[in-house]
A = this chain, B = another copy of it.
């Protein structure tokens, strides 16, 4: 019989689950926020994911519920569990992804390397942290931030007074400012029954807090490869994460790994796997949440490079530029999220696979460049 996977959220992550669902013969059902969502083809309901009644009605005839994003309230998740509907990742794991302060506390509790941090309630506590950490720190709102939003580098205790004013009783999160060489990401998938599979460690290039490029595998990573893989598998197991877990990492100036962020869903740093790995993160997520045996995460080529398409000419769609881009780059895999361009918006990505990093990077950037002119 056909398995039915319900996805809450109709963004590009849900959209990119459609191809492997079609291939495997899994029925994907999406609860989208609006008509004409990125995942509209698979949308079986449109409604508010914060409303338990809406979500329960959507989930009534699926075998498992999973997510396009991590914003579903715990009360709604609890209602799903109470109704006997399998939810992957589960509410306890998702809670850790939903609150950056809780994430830091849990990671420290399991011995994962994290930047020094504190929960702060006012400017005085921020001032004390700054004094103890070289007068520079990073303040984050515990909830709701993404793509650089809700993150501020501070040098003065008054730099986030506006945030304190609206922070709830959980306050804000402050972290030491970590001097790092580069950012890395380690993705793993985990089934409810415990099986794990890790893709190669990748290097990520961020611009203005947004993922811009991913190089797979991370060049010159040496011993970090094994360290990152073991770390991500430990986090997935200790936090009981099911589905795909993305561990965003700093490689510090002194060669250590520190966990920056966690995401419990397919992740931008894994988009290269669609074209560059035997099993993509989207197929693997479906397998994992259905508790099916995981697929081979091996790369298909020595090098894969993914470049995001951000912004582009206002109101255009990526396909408007296909004639020129495809003519120049027949080797580029072009992915449109079906969204109109506007400044800074992720509307798609481009992946190129090949043998030699510099060549592949140049091709991927050139192909993506057609959509950003």
Contact = CB atoms under 8 A, between A and B. Distances in A.
Interface of A: 1-3, 15-16, 18-20, 22-26, 41-42, 197, 274, 278-279, 287, 292-296, 298, 300-301, 317-320, 322-323, 326-327, 330-331, 333-338, 348, 353
Contacts of A2: 317, 319, 338
Given A2-B317, A292-B326, A22 B18 contact: yes
Nearest to A337: B25
A296 B23 contact: no
Contacts of A336: 23-25
B25 A348 contact: yes
Q: Name the prevailing secondary structure of the A interface residues.
A: mixed
Contacts of A338: 2, 25
A15 B41 CA distance: 13
Contacts of A348: 25
A355 to B, nearest CB: 12
A20 B336 CA distance: 10
A338 B338 CA distance: 26
A25 B330 contact: no
Contacts of A294: 326, 330
Leading 5 A-B pairs by shortest Cβ distance: A25-B336, A19-B19, A293-B326, A293-B327, A296-B331
Contacts of A25: 317-319, 336-338, 348
A334 B296 CA distance: 12
A338 B320 CA distance: 33
Contact of A319 (B26, B317, B337): B26
Contacts of A323: 292-293
The quantity of this chain's copies bound in the complex is 2
B292 A1 contact: no
Contacts of A353: 278, 300
Contacts of A278: 331, 333, 353
Contact of A333 (B23, B298, B320, B322): B23
A293 B329 CA distance: 9
B319 A24 contact: yes
Nearest to A324: B293
A341 to B, nearest CB: 12
Given A18-B18, A298-B331, 19 more contacts: A1-B317, A3-B319, A16-B22, A18-B19, A18-B22, A18-B41, A19-B19, A23-B274, A23-B334, A23-B336, A24-B336, A25-B319, A25-B336, A41-B42, A287-B326, A292-B323, A295-B331, A296-B330, A300-B300
Given A41-B42, A317-B2, A23 B335 contact: yes
Nearest to A348: B25
A295 B326 contact: yes
20 contacts: A1-B319, A1-B320, A2-B338, A15-B22, A18-B41, A24-B335, A24-B336, A25-B318, A25-B319, A25-B337, A25-B348, A26-B319, A197-B330, A278-B331, A278-B333, A279-B330, A292-B326, A293-B322, A300-B300, A300-B301
A345 B269 CA distance: 40
A294 B322 CA distance: 11
Contacts of A300: 300-301, 353
